Structure 1
Amino acid sequence: MTNLEPSIAAASLVTVPALTDGVVSLRKIEARDAKQLMENCLDPEAVRWTTVPLNYSAADAQKFIDEICPQGWVNGSTHTFAIADAVDDRLMGTIDLHSFRAATADVGINLGPAARGGGAALRAVELLLDYAFNRLNLAYLYWHAYVPNWGSRKLAWKAGFQFDAQFPGFADVRGVSSDAWILSLASVDKDRASRAREMGEVWTSWSE
């Protein structure tokens, strides 16, 4: 048996929920997404603010699709979704739940540059929150952002996450320590973001 065979078997067993709000969809990442995934992970912002491998290659994308994502679903360690346009199904990015512990998990997201600025990221996060709180019955979700990734922190705020703390040297970024912001959202507060929008709350760096 080759090393690849177990991952192929795992992939065939994976059933990834399909989630949509009519504009954005979360679905299983597939072989046809490989080229766009590679382009997204080569984007300088992705390299700066996420843990994607440097010089991301077609082989990296294929391994992520064929092995890493299916294995995460099979062993329960990471639930990874493709973020896709609900109309033409093109890949926009990826989003996941990881670091499960008791009734909590962490959120991770990487949206390609072509999909930024139109609200797709927030829609994807809101779909993931619904899945986490209403299907998995998680009690808390956590959001980590490297300092000073204000874009990530603002997205978390828009989704209702509350800033908790800044930890010096908390994150390991390819072997280098980095300060990190930690934000959290409890299931009982999952409607916080919509209430804030209804009240006309405006983002500032001290909004949390």
Structure 2
Amino acid sequence: MAALSLPVRSLSYPDPALSDGRIGLRRWRETDVECIRLAGMDPRIPRGTTVPAVYTPDEGLAFIHRQWRRVESGEGVSQAIVEAASDRAVGLMWVAVRPQPHVGGLGYWIVPPARGQGVATAAVRLAVPWVMDAWDLRRLEAWVEPENLASQRVLSRAGFQQEGRLRNFLTHDHQSSDALVFSIIPPRD
């Protein structure tokens, strides 16, 4: 499937990089491989992403290079979620082009040592206004496995509403699972 035809300026990184003073979003760097190593140690992250389940420095760099190519291919924008004070990468924020006009997708993960500190909620709150404006979106959606209660809380705290369930929508390791659909739309005037 061809990527949606958005204006070229839409598929670029935010400039300046996004930050709330505690959490930031920025382009991945080759020095972020430790974040990829930690993500690969979590059994859930590699299962639903391209994070290598068996980490090597070369696989970590290959992952980062794939994230850069997402912008170039028109697929979307993948950014590192970082602690603003140290600039240490602790997760990933992904905004994807959907085939429907004015609709985007959102995905994220946080490495286990940084969980439970509001990092994901802060990162989603940073990403939403930027992508809604930059891509002229009328809808941003996220798909969550029903047992992923933490992610459901993140989305709810960031203003998303649960809309429904897509049965047998996700496939991991040849197994199907449902996905809960969350979305956010711009406020109506």
- TM-score range for the pair, normalised by the shorter chain length: 0.7 to 0.9
Are residue 16 (structure 1) and residue 13 (structure 2) matched?
Answer: yes
**Pairwise CA distance, 1:47:** 4.2
Kindly indicate whether the alpha-carbon contact (under 8 Å) linking 2:91 and 2:108 is maintained by their aligned counterparts in 1.
yes
Identity score, percent: 26
3-state SS, counterpart of residue 177 of structure 1: strand
**Pairwise CA distance, 1:38:** 1.7
Kindly indicate whether the alpha-carbon contact (under 8 Å) linking 2:50 and 2:63 is maintained by their aligned counterparts in 1.
no
| Higher RCO (CA-CA < 8 Å; seq separation 6+) | 2
Q: Which residue of 1 aligns with 2:71?
A: 73
Are residue 110 (structure 1) and residue 109 (structure 2) matched?
Answer: yes
Aligned ranges 1:31-180 → 2 under 5 Å: 31-47=30-46, 50-53=48-51, 55-58=53-56, 59-66=58-65, 68-101=66-99, 102-180=101-179
Kindly indicate whether the alpha-carbon contact (under 8 Å) linking 2:39 and 2:51 is maintained by their aligned counterparts in 1.
no
**Pairwise CA distance, 1:176:** 1.6
The answer for unaligned runs of 5 or more in structure 1 is 1-13, 190-208
Higher helix share: 1
3-state SS, counterpart of residue 28 of structure 2: coil
Aligned ranges 1:163-202 → 2 under 5 Å: 163-188=162-187
Q: Whose Rg is larger?
A: 1
- Distance between the aligned counterparts of 2:52 and 2:60, measured in 1? 12
Give 2:23's aligned amino acid: V
Q: Which residue of 2 aligns with 1:200?
A: none
**Pairwise CA distance, 1:61:** 1.7
- Distance between the aligned counterparts of 1:178 and 1:41, measured in 2? 21
Q: CA RMSD in A?
A: 1.9
